[in-house]
Amino acid sequence: MSTNKESKILSLSHLRHELRTPINAIIGYSEMLLEDLEMINDSQDFHELKHIRECGLKLTSLVSTLLNDSNLEIHQLDLEKLLTEQMVQNQIQIPVNSVISHCQQILKTTNNQSLVSDIQKINQASQSLIAMTSDMTGTAKKHSAIQVDDSFISTDNIPLIEKDLSSLTEKSSPNSNSIHFSQEKESIDNKNRSTILIVDDNATNLDLLSRYIINQGYKVARAANGKQALAMIQIEKYDLILLDVLMPGIDGYEVLQWIKNSSLSYIPVIMISALDEIDSVVKCIEMGAEDYLSKPFNAVILKARISACLEKKQLRDQEELFLNQLAQANQEITTLNKLLKAENNRLTTEIEVTQRLQQMILPKEKELRQIDDLEISGFMESADEVGGDYYDVLHDNGRVKIGIGDVTGHGLESGVLMLMVQTAVRTLVEIDEKDPKKFLEVLNRTIYKNIQRMNCDRNLTLCLVDYHNSVVSLSGQHEEIILIKSQGEIQRIDTMDLGFPIGLVDTIEQFVFQVQIKLDLGDTIVLYTDGITEAENPSGQQYGLERLCQLIKENHHKSASNIRKMVIDDLLMYIGEQKIYDDITLVVIKQI
């Protein structure tokens, strides 16, 4: 395309643009007033406004038809010839004069003073249109020098613009005339708090768009040119920007380019212009505009486009919020993982210390071999989380006291409570307390007070086995005790009625009783904790007391240590590679 042809077509394009601006005002104000008068549509004002709107629509059609680029080529690119032969001036001025006539009629006869201001604006727009059509060739030439720079505004120049805007930002205030914030009363039904920035160098367009948007329930801010818009964007937050293309100074293309190259690129932008070239539409979309609307705009389409853009932005904002929340959650998880790791390290240390203490206070083989008439073999293995299993063997002056117990719960507290019980039992033995009721009562009272001081929810089962001269005395509540006679007969002795959990209440003396058993040569007693009977295989089935009794019966003729080994080997094979959740304790006592 030749430079001359480009210039001619551009001149015609800007002529259409200039003519559509007042036509947009005629249509826009008339439609808003018609909407206000819709409930009284039989009034004279309503009919006059309908005629005004129809004239405005006719003017839009005339401008598009008469000033078409193809008509310019038909007239050999002679704009003046086109205007003359098409009688453009006369054809446009006829409906314009009709608009003026209807405006004057309303101003003379209306009783509705709220119409006056907008009718005067329609009349002023019509007078402006008359002036333009009187010298359309001059109007076109006036704008023929306007060119749209394809290079736009480079990213490198953005800091310069920001610097240039700093002084404007500092000088701007809510009362400044250079940056306009809408002061109109919002719709009574305003439920949407989104804020829309309108950027247009034409005051009429600003007014029309503002009123349309406020009536939809949105908040509005207004800027009169590109420079003011950029200043406002950096001060306030906006949910949507309606941006005119052709403006003096920084035009709409440059504002759009700056936004999309900045940290504010998430703000959706709808370009609004009287330019009707497809190239302008394509350029805006390629630069990142969300949409493009032509002037004069259709109110229904404008509403739909705004609603769609805001909905998309809300979805993007929600997505960003979720991503931020996810990032924050990940950060919190990372922090918690570090804390958990530190806590796990601390707990691991506590467990290791408790396990070592458990093993340190167990009866030594050397001590057990010094006991006459009895062969005793014991085994204890702590769970991964340390339970509170307890067993001890005390020997003094031909008397033997064996204790076995199980503290509720796991961890350090259970382990510490077990150590307290071991110490208390040894102390009572040292002071030669032989009465089972007093023995367990004092022990219970001591442990109960310590549990209260520790402020923990723990207690334990405890059975005491006293041996002297082949007689065994049993007291205290624990698991069933297994007695295997030398011929292989098994007896299960229930201890539920021999005592009460230690540390659960402040006194238990009334619950403590004792039973005695005569041991013959070869008889065996087996003590254990529920870590054995309740151990599970990979299928979740418990080892059980029946299996334990059967295994002991089959091996009753063997030594205490061999019986202990057979039981533990069978148990570990039953459990397999699974984690051990409870302490395992077994004590085998054989009369020899």
Closest CA to 114 of 27, 202, 37, 53: 37
Give pLDDT, residue 85.
65
State phi, psi for 242 to the nearest 5 degrees: -100, 115
| Coil/strand/helix, residue 440 | helix
Is residue 155 domain-shared with residue 174, that is, in the same domain? yes
Is residue 133 domain-shared with residue 206, that is, in the same domain? no
Is residue 298 domain-shared with residue 404, that is, in the same domain? no
Is residue 300 domain-shared with residue 203, that is, in the same domain? yes
For residue 417, what is the domain's CATH number?
3.60.40.10
Tell which of 111, 132, 147 closes a domain: 147
Cα–Cα dist 113/107, whole Å: 9
Within a domain: 143: yes
For residue 47, what is the domain's CATH number?
1.20.120
Is residue 18 domain-shared with residue 64, that is, in the same domain? yes
* Type of residue numbered 551: L
Tell which of 301, 318, 335 closes a domain: 318
Give pLDDT, residue 343.
81
Total tally of structural domains belonging to the chain:
3
Q: Would the CA dihedral through 562, 565, 571, 576 be positive or negative?
A: negative
Is residue 87 domain-shared with residue 7, that is, in the same domain? yes
Is residue 123 domain-shared with residue 168, that is, in the same domain? no
Q: Which two tokens stand for residue 212?
A: 């349309």
For residue 181, what is the domain's CATH number?
3.40.50.2300
Helix (H) or strand (E) holding 294: strand 291-294
- Tens of pLDDT, residue by residue over 87-144, are 778 888 899 999 999 999 999 999 889 899 999 999 999 999 888 888 765 555 554 4
| Partners of 270 in beta bridges | 242, 291
Within a domain: 338: no
Peptide bond into 296 cis (omega under 30): yes
Q: How many CA atoms lie within 13 A of 306 on its CB side?
A: 30
The order of strands in the sheet holding 399-407 is: 388-396, 399-407, 460-468, 471-475, 514-518
Give pLDDT, residue 536.
94
Within a domain: 37: yes
Cα–Cα dist 121/26, whole Å: 8
- Tens of pLDDT, residue by residue over 213-249, are 998 889 999 999 999 999 999 999 999 999 999 898 9
Q: CB–CB of 388/361 below 8 Å? A: no
Query: Which regions in the chain score pLDDT beneath 70?
Result: 1-4, 41-42, 72-79, 82, 85-86, 136-192, 275-277, 384-387
Give pLDDT, residue 15.
82
Give pLDDT, residue 498.
97
Is residue 133 domain-shared with residue 198, that is, in the same domain? no
Cα–Cα dist 467/587, whole Å: 14
| Coil/strand/helix, residue 197 | strand
Give pLDDT, residue 69.
72
Give pLDDT, residue 259.
95
Within a domain: 141: yes
Q: Which two tokens stand for residue 574?
A: 């039953």
Cα–Cα dist 339/345, whole Å: 10
Give pLDDT, residue 348.
75
Within a domain: 333: no
Give the structural domain span for 513: 361-591
* Type of residue numbered 5: K
Is residue 477 domain-shared with residue 556, that is, in the same domain? yes
State phi, psi for 485 to the nearest 5 degrees: -70, 160
Tell which of 258, 291, 318 closes a domain: 318
% helix, strand, coil for the chain, step of 5:
55, 15, 30
